[in-house]
Amino acid sequence: MKVIEVKNLSKAFEIIHKKRDTLKENFIGFLKREDAEKETIWSLKDINFDVKKGECIGIVGENASGKTTLLKIIGKILNPTEGEVVVRGKIAPLLTLGVGFDPELTARENVYLYGSIMGLSQRQIDERYHNIVKFSELDNFMNTKLKHFSSGMEVRLGFATAINVDADILLVDEVLSVGDGAFQKKCLDKFEEFKRQGKTIIYVSHGLDSITKHCDKAIFLHKGRTKAFGDTEKVVELYKNHLISKQLKTHNIDILRKIKEASKDNFPYIENLKIFNQNKEESYVLESGKTTYLLFKSANLLTGTIFITYINGNDGGVILFSKNFQKGTAIFKIESLPLTEGNYEISIGCLGGGSITGPYKFKIYVYGYSETPNVNRIFIENPITLDKEVLAFGRDCENVLKDFELGKTLISFTNIDEAKKNCSKAALFLRKNLVFSGAPSEVIESYKKCIYDSTVKKFIQI
């Protein structure tokens, strides 16, 4: 049974930037026929979800994402601008400190005030009063005025009162964050008891571990819109990745700014670097085995080959490169990112007209690992010049050079042992001509005979 239905819900607020506080200002504004400077801010936009009886729904999101506004509309404290919310059952809201309380009254008086607001008779409140005091652990403070309470004591009283009004639905904002650890655990244990009783809970918190542990489903709000709704672990993981991506983006923007400040005259510098996930959404958190896009722009860069290297202390390096770009722009498309979970640096450099000094290092985070064999995995030595020996590992590595000539993106491992372990076939090219192909061990032996460059020999270390 659905106890809450949120349909096409939107909420707008008008922000006045230039207020008229005096009679003179209002009179002058009237004569000039000037309207006050207002801006419409949509706190929520097109929100849709249902809550079934007995479910505990967690809401996560950054500050100002619309979490509290959503709870207030469900609790009938605010009216929606568009859409509707259908609620079937009695609601007990615990949204902000002191909601329904009067600071000039004692704690005892506030219990009776809140209970009457929630529709309880004096007799019903009398029957519940002992349980409220016991749960709040405020026995010695019930005759103290609320204005003398600390924020933690106020939360104790508010939560203890709210859970004793026989509500079907409990709305809890992140007010529990001001309580001590023992009381928070006590409240969360109460959540589990409510769930067993078939009551419904909507819970807003920045404590992602408690959301994951206690909630059946979760909603991720971002800038007033539903970014995700469903399985709690998946939604929380998505939110964590969003936070990491935001931090990395801030870090990378700062690097771009420093590079621009350091540039003088026509010295080439990086203008922009954007990283997109498989859905073409800008993100610095990427999933292994999924398509990744990197957009790179540079001033005064006309033609050439840009290469990007992933650097990780444990896994060695991975070079990504694309041959074709125009007017200082290159887009890298990696069909299947072959990286294990962890933090990586992107080292960017360029060969060709208007070459960029560097490398410049940016950061990304990769999570998840796909066990599916990666058909795009290849290894190339000297991938930029292609005028000497080229060693390739993969499943269709004879076509590596053709793909490169067509401007396709290739993936290069700087760790031969990794390539041998993950690839079933290898090929050796000399000056763009196929010399030998077969099992990786056989190709490596053939490759040894073709090593003339001392730097290549040092790199291979076989």
- Give 10-residue mean pLDDT values along the chain (462 residues): 93 74 59 63 93 93 92 90 92 70 89 85 91 90 91 84 85 71 80 86 88 92 94 93 92 84 63 86 87 78 62 63 66 76 77 56 79 53 55 73 69 65 76 79 74 43 38
Cα separation, 233 vs 229, in Å, equals 11
Instruction: List the alpha helices (DSSP H) in 216-323.
Output: 232-262
| 204-231 exposure pattern, b = at least 16 Cβ within 10 A, e = fewer | bbebbebbbebbebbbbbbebbbbbbee
Residue 452: predicted pLDDT: 44
Q: Please, are residues 113 and 190 in contact by the beta-carbon 8 Å criterion?
A: no
What Å distances lie between residue 268 and 182, 251, 331, CA to CA?
Answer: 58, 21, 18
Question: Mind listing the domains of the chain with CATH numbers?
Answer: 2-238 (3.40.50.300), 267-371 (2.70.50.60), 373-462 (no CATH)
Residue 404: predicted pLDDT: 67
Percent composition of the chain: helix, strand, coil (DSSP 3-state, to 5): 35, 35, 35
Q: Which amino acid is at 134?
A: K
Q: Please, are residues 282 and 252 in contact by the beta-carbon 8 Å criterion?
A: no
Residue 454: predicted pLDDT: 39
Cα separation, 124 vs 107, in Å, equals 17
Q: Which residues contact 338 (CB under 8 A, 6 or more apart)?
A: 288, 289, 318, 374, 376, 377, 411
| Contacts by 174-179, CB closer than 8 A, 24 or more apart | 174/67, 174/204, 174/205, 174/206, 175/94, 175/95, 175/96, 175/97, 176/205, 177/205, 177/206, 177/207, 178/97, 178/151, 178/152, 179/152, 179/155
Q: Is 349 exposed, middle or buried (0-12, 13-18, 19+ CB in 10 A)?
A: middle
Residues in the chain: 462
Strands (DSSP E) contained in 36-142 are 37-52, 56-60, 82-87, 91-94
> Whole-model pTM?
0.75
Question: Tokens 């999101």 belong to which residue?
Answer: 61
Tokens of 121: 């008779």
Beta bridge partners of 275: 294
Q: Are strands 2-18 and 82-87 parallel, antiparallel or unpaired?
A: antiparallel
Q: Please, are residues 228 and 238 in contact by the beta-carbon 8 Å criterion?
A: yes
Residue 374: predicted pLDDT: 47
Q: Is 16 exposed, middle or buried (0-12, 13-18, 19+ CB in 10 A)?
A: exposed
